[in-house]
Amino acid sequence: MKVVIVGGVAGGATAAARIRRLDERAQIVVFERSGYVSYANCGLPYYIGGVIQDPAELTLQTPESFWRRFRIDMRVRHEVLAIHPAEKTVSVRDLTTGEEFEEHYDKLLLSPGARPARPELPGVEQDRLFTLRTVEDTLRIRRFVEQERPRSVVLAGGGFIGLEMAENLRELGLDVTIVQRPAQLMSPFDTEMASFLHAKLRQRGVKLLLGRTVEGFEQAQGAVRVRLKDEGTLTADMVVLAIGVVPDSHLAKEAGLELGIRDSILVDDRMETSAPDIYAVGDAVQVKHFVTGEDALVSLAGPANRQGRIAADNICGGDSRYPGPQGSSVLKVFDMTAAVTGINERTAKRAGIACDKVYLSPASHAGYYPGGRVMTMKVLFEKETFRLLGAQIVGYEGVDKRIDVLAAAIRAGMSALDLAELDLAYAPPYSSAKDPVNMAGFMIENLARGLVEQFHWDEVDALPRDGSIVLLDVRTGVEHLRGHLAGSVNVPVDELRARLGELPQGKPVYVVCQSALRSYLACRILAQEGFVCRHLAGGYRLYESVMLERAAAQRSFPCGMDRT
């Protein structure tokens, strides 16, 4: 059996090695357009920033190492020009010599990945504009930074690559501005959770111009002018386009393979395309989302690796199935960590899923052990069934641990109520006896049992201030003075029992504290004294974060940039 693989990196290289482990006699040929067949795609921004010093560290395998260990013929700088399904051949060009030839296959695996979206805007082809996909792109940016010593950069786009580039270039001392059309960075997160990321970036000196549209680029003397719709012009020494990726599916399209959303390659759960003996994996393929069952594009290394393994199994006569990704991912933003799994609230509503959520702000480990830091968690679940839908966490230490527990719970089909029963490891330096994941389960259990009701940050401003309700702040007087909801009265929770007579009977009580713990305790007191009570999910801390972000987003044009 001869297997030809188009593209290396995560999916293609993983599949090649797996095929060899399953079939010692298979002839395996991999064609990779770039000069590197297996490299640490996710590490590229950190080489630009100097965190990774040696470019060789980015190369996981070389053609020589693949041949020595697996006897796999890895041909870099070879571009596949066309696929001929009827003849079972591909047309290939050697980019070094210019030679073109035909290569026969018994099985073909497509792993072309995705290419950076490059909008058709005036001036987009000039030298000081960069995209980041390959090692060659990385070396070009690093060389430019070292030789030209740029002082400022505009990043168009605020996804994973945009934020990682923002951090690394800012750490090098550049003046960094992120511009994008959406009003929020990192679309996998909901608005209120992204507000913590926005605050961190601004704290570290990154300027955010969100909800703005780039209309084009103009060459200036040793710089680039970035024209914004109805906003004027930014001037920077360099521009990095990081507005997302699109499936690199032109070969499949030209070969007549069926395509899916955004021209992605359509595959079944065996990673088979519509053409016999042709498989496809990675960022270029359409998959079924594990949580919603809807068609999706998920450009992450983990799913690409798993798809490569599954395709290899099936190429070698097995019957492996891909159940779909759930989008588990984690991101470093300076000293902060942000992580997500499953779907967010926007996606649930778009899919017609009736969902509810809890927020909590636990410490990363036991409070009495030094060094603990607060994280903010949002856990989504389906109403009625309590099926886990997704989670988002922003914080510092321990974020990755909790998101992985929640990701495993979703994959295992556990309900949100089951989180309370998880037996998780505990020692004071690492966790609390009631782990944050357990705490999320306890909170959802309280909702299920009717022990408490919630209201949310986006309902606060619509609450009546005409005396028909009681808006009760149960924090300390000092906390209340530092900032509070307009119209709230302050009765600290520890004084509440003795001061119940100050609250008018018959009026609903909306209770607020800093993180929603004391407000829950207050609601339990009030409910047992005959009051109808709700508390603010996520507390004043979450509400304040969103409001501060909204205020920051409305401020003036960024300092240090030109406005014309």
In 416-546, the DSSP E strands lie at 454-455, 470-473, 489-490, 509-512, 533-536
Is 512's pLDDT higher than 60? yes
564 pLDDT band (50/70/90 cuts)?
Answer: very low
Is the pTM here over 0.85, yes or no? yes
Token pair, residue 278, equals 């042709």
Please indicate whether residue 42 is annotated as part of the active site: yes
- Give the pLDDT confidence score for residue 562 in this predicted structure: 54
DSSP collapsed to 3 states, 70-138: HCCEEEECEEEEEEECCCCEEEEEECCCCCEEEEECCEEEECCCEEECCCCCCCCCCCCEECCCCHHHH
Instruction: Give the mean model confidence (pLDDT) for residues 136-145.
Output: 91
Residue 431 burial (C-beta neighbours within 10 Å; 0-12, 13-18, 19+): buried
DSSP 8-class letter at 385: T
What percentage of the chain exceeds 90 in pLDDT? 84
What percentage of the chain exceeds 70 in pLDDT? 98
In 344-477, the DSSP E strands lie at 355-360, 376-382, 388-395, 454-455, 470-473
Q: What is the pLDDT of residues 228-250, one digit of tens each?
A: 998 889 999 999 998 888 999 99
Determine which one of 42, 355, 513, 523 is catalytic.
Answer: 42
Find tokens 């001061």 and name the residue.
499
> What does pLDDT average to over the chain?
94
